[in-house]
């Protein structure tokens, strides 16, 4: 349907003309809309329910393993999630401390209602942004052979035209929630669901999939006996998510609230196993595919039979509420069984459930139909971001949202779009995995997915991405100035430590032996000393006479870079090889059927995915190293032909 046809629908009217229309104000949509508005484009943001803007329908936390890196990367690019999370944080921890700075991952408990309100308040300040509660039922397009976006149509027959459309519909398209045998046609948290939009996308030729995810109960803390639980307090020596806050000395809250943990009991196992016939997962009611890495509790008992018990975290959902979230206890068993399951947990035998657990099924777009810019290969000017692309998680959604928003804006401005590759960012790994390999279940980011994770640390995201955010137009001059000052401090201090030699004095001997290492036989540079695992920047302060006070963000970076210097050098060589293949471009109109030497499966896969370069081609499942050699010869021939012409 195009604009003219939409306007011929009964009661339809022209409601607005925008540069960009963003459908969905979840974590992806908020980032996309903020990026477009901050880049100066007239933007409209739609949501089914204004009071659920940036809702946290699942765990009330931001960050975690690999997800924390994503939040810092979004912030480094000029995104919003990090700043809002710092504002609404009620507990902060750095995960993976025992595994080393390469995989340190910040995770924060959020005040759920404050998070939504703070994001709404921020977006309402943006000059170029209009926010509208409306139900989008149709994508409007122009063209026949090759479609391009024209706008959207709402349930109330309002027509909006737009030069680009970003759809971030999350877990709402044709969603249904399931508890045992009971199926409700709603979105998450009982909110209205989206009807018609996935059919409209399908009619434009966009492949639609169906996934599922699930969430646990919420209980009232006033009937919980915390004395039998293990308390887990927050940490105050963790940097905030936002680099700007970090450089301005705005730290994490000091008055943090605790989380608690308990273990399931033999009763829990008994209740669940004796009611598996009523589990929609196993009775066939649920048809959507669920997340392997966020399994329901019944799935855990079924899949990990050797494990006697499972740990459950009891997490606060805010400062002004008694609602607690049972992390790790998601289920879709009937409500009456859920009550028994909760009461089988130590300290929760009298707990009152405030929200039931449920599974939710929803429609999404097959991410193989997207370019690495997150633009659709099928409808020009259409971008999708978030759960609609097959990912799972607020952070994964927001990461795609900022990229889709920036690219929609750059597209409208006629400027070159950005693609982050796997050596630049977890965001690059996330998007490349989705659009090159596709996904058969909700995709969760993990550090193990990133080949170059030593480079992709949470603390250096600004060094990797802030210049890119600046070039795109999302980083202010003032902020960029602070960034350059930090960068210069890091470089100067690193050089100073390299150039500063100290003698093997008695004072140094005492310091080094206090942490279990030995005095060097002769003079040594402070940089060399810092490479020792036991030695920290703080530890050698007393023997480093010329040291100037520096922000901890600078000293931590200097210390980590020096400690990993050898590994980083090796990693850099690997990245060079990787980048070489990324630079070997494949013409968009290549017909892989015609390239002799390619195996049949490779021809089919290459024609389906249409990779931008040899690097991306090498990551498509079913394309072998032999096929890549054929493509390398093919691109070499093309290069020679170009030179001859
Ligand atoms: C029950 C449940 C359990 C989850 N469990 C996990 C988990 O265990 N681990 C994990 O990492 N993540 C989990 N998540 C996922 C997490 O919530 C999402 O990944 C995240 O919220 C996705 O963000 P998003 O921006 O893509 O979409 P959402 O946050 O879902 O937001 C979508 C937005 O689109 C709007 N919208 C949708 N359709 C329309 C339309 N037609 N017209 C107008 N507006 C529309 C909605 O109103 C909403 O504002 C769970 C989500 C749910 C619902």
Instruction: Indicate whether residue 24 lines ligand 1 (CB < 6 A).
Output: yes
What are the E-state strand segments in 134-289? 136-142, 147-154, 158-167, 176-179, 182-184, 208-215, 218-220, 230-232, 259-263
- Look up residue 177 and give its two tokens: 């929630």
Contacts of 580 (CB under 8 A, 6+ apart): none
Instruction: Indicate whether residue 132 lines ligand 1 (CB < 6 A).
Output: no
Instruction: Indicate whether residue 29 lines ligand 1 (CB < 6 A).
Output: yes
Instruction: Indicate whether residue 28 lines ligand 1 (CB < 6 A).
Output: yes
Q: What is the pLDDT of residue 639?
A: 86
Q: What is the pLDDT of residue 90?
A: 98
pLDDT tens string 554-601: 999 999 999 999 999 999 999 999 999 999 999 988 999 989 999 999
Ligand 1 midpoint to CA 337 (Å): 26
Among residues 286, 290, 302, 312, the alpha carbon closest in space to that of 444 is found at 290
pLDDT tens string 317-361: 999 999 999 999 999 999 999 999 999 999 999 999 999 999 999
Q: What is the pLDDT of residue 638?
A: 87
Instruction: Indicate whether residue 123 lines ligand 1 (CB < 6 A).
Output: no
For the chain, list the domains and their CATH numbers: 3-462 (3.50.50.60), 478-570 (1.10.10.1800), 584-644 (1.10.150.570)
Among residues 20, 21, 74, 31, the alpha carbon closest in space to that of 53 is found at 31
Q: What is the pLDDT of residue 38?
A: 98
Among residues 467, 404, 452, the alpha carbon closest in space to that of 582 is found at 452
Q: What is the pLDDT of residue 282?
A: 82
From edge to edge, which strands make up the β-sheet containing 208-215? 182-184, 176-179, 358-365, 208-215
Q: What is the pLDDT of residue 641?
A: 85
C-alpha 351/C-alpha 334 separation (Å) is: 17
pLDDT tens string 272-295: 999 999 999 888 888 887 877 788
The proportion of the chain whose per-residue pLDDT surpasses 90, expressed as a percent, equals 92
C-alpha 643/C-alpha 637 separation (Å) is: 10
Which atom of ligand 1 is nearest the CA belonging to 47? 44
Per-10-residue mean pLDDT of the chain, 645 residues long, equals 95 98 98 98 98 96 98 98 98 94 96 98 98 98 94 98 98 98 97 98 97 96 97 96 92 95 97 95 84 87 91 98 97 98 98 98 97 97 98 97 98 97 98 96 95 95 98 97 96 97 94 93 94 93 91 94 93 93 91 92 92 94 93 91 82
C-alpha 503/C-alpha 526 separation (Å) is: 10
Q: What is the pLDDT of residue 642?
A: 83
Instruction: Indicate whether residue 70 lines ligand 1 (CB < 6 A).
Output: no
H helix intervals, 161-222: 197-203
Instruction: Indicate whether residue 58 lines ligand 1 (CB < 6 A).
Output: yes
- Look up residue 248 and give its two tokens: 């301005």
Task: State which of 184, 393, 442 you would mutate to test the pocket of ligand 1, scoring each by most atoms of that ligand within 8 A of its C-beta.
Answer: 393
C-alpha 19/C-alpha 42 separation (Å) is: 5
Contact between 427 and 420 under an 8 Å Cβ cutoff? The reply is yes
């Amino acid at each position: 349907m195009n604009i003219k046809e939409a306007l011929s629908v009964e009661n339809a009217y022209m409601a607005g003309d925008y540069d960009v229309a963003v459908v969905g104000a979840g974590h992806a949509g908020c980032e996309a809309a903020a990026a477009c508005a901050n880049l100066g484009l007239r933007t409209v943001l739609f949501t089914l329910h204004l009071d659920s803007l940036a809702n946290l329908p699942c765990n009330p936390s931001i960050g975690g393993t690999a997800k924390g890196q994503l939040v810092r990367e979004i912030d480094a690019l000029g995104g919003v999630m990090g700043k809002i999370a710092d504002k609404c944080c009620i507990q902060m921890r750095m995960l993976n401390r025992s595994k080393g700075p390469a995989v340190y991952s910040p995770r924060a408990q959020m005040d759920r209602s404050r998070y939504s309100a703070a994001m709404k308040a921020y977006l309402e300040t943006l000059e170029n942004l209009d926010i509208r509660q409306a139900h989008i039922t149709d994508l409007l397009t122009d063209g026949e052979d090759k479609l391009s976006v024209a706008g959207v149509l709402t349930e109330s027959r309002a027509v909006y035209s737009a030069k680009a459309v970003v759809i971030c519909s999350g877990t709402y398209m044709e969603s249904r929630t399931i508890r045992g045998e009971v199926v409700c046609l709603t979105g998450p948290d009982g909110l209205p669901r989206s009807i018609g939009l996935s059919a409209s996308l399908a009619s434009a030729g966009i492949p639609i999939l169906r996934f599922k995810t699930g969430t646990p109960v919420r209980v009232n803390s006033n009937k919980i006996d915390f004395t039998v639980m293990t308390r887990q307090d927050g940490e105050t020596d963790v940097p905030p998510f936002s680099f700007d806050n970090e450089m301005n000395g705005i730290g994490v809250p000091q008055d943090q609230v605790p989380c608690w943990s308990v273990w399931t009991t033999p009763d829990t196992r008994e209740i669940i196993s004796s009611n598996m016939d009523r589990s929609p997962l196993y009775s066939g009611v649920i048809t959507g595919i669920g997340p392997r890495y966020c399994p329901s509790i019944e799935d855990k008992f079924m899949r990990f039979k050797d494990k006697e018990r499972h740990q459950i975290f009891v997490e606060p959902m805010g400062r002004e509420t008694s609602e607690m979230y049972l992390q790790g206890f998601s289920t879709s068993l009937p409500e009456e069984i859920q009550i028994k399951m909760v009461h089988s947990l130590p300290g929760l035998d009298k707990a009152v459930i405030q929200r039931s657990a449920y599974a939710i099924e929803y429609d999404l777009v097959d991410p193989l139909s997207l370019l690495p810019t997150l633009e659709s290969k099928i409808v020009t000017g259409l971008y999708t971001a978030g759960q609609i692309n097959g990912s799972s998680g607020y952070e994964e959604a927001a990461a795609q949202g900022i990229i889709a928003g920036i690219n929609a804006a750059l597209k409208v401005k006629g400027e070159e779009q950005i693609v982050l590759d796997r050596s630049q960012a977890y965001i690059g790994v996330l998007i490349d995995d989705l659009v090159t390999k596709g996904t058969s279940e909700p995709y969760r980011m993990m550090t193990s997915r990133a080949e170059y994770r030593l480079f992709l640390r949470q603390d250096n995201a600004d060094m990797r991405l802030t210049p890119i955010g600046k070039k795109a137009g999302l980083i202010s001059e003032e902020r960029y100035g602070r960034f350059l000052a930090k960068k210069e401090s890091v470089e100067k201090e690193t050089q100073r430590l390299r150039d500063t030699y100290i003698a093997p004095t008695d004072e140094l001997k005492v310091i080094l032996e206090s942490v279990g290492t030995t005095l060097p036989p002769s003079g040594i540079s402070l940089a060399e000393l810092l490479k020792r695992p036991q030695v920290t920047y703080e530890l050698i302060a007393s023997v480093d006479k010329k040291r100037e006070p520096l922000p901890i963000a600078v000293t931590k970076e200097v210390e980590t870079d020096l400690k990993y210097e050898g590994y980083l050098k090796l990693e850099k060589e690997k990245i060079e090889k990787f980048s070489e293949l990324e630079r070997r471009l494949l013409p968009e109109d290549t017909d892989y059927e015609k390239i002799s030497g390619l195996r049949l499966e490779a021809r089919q896969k290459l024609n389906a995915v249409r990779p931008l370069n040899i690097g991306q081609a090498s990551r498509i499942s079913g394309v072998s190293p032999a096929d890549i050699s054929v493509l390398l010869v093919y691109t070499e021939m093309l290069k020679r032909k170009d030179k001859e012409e």
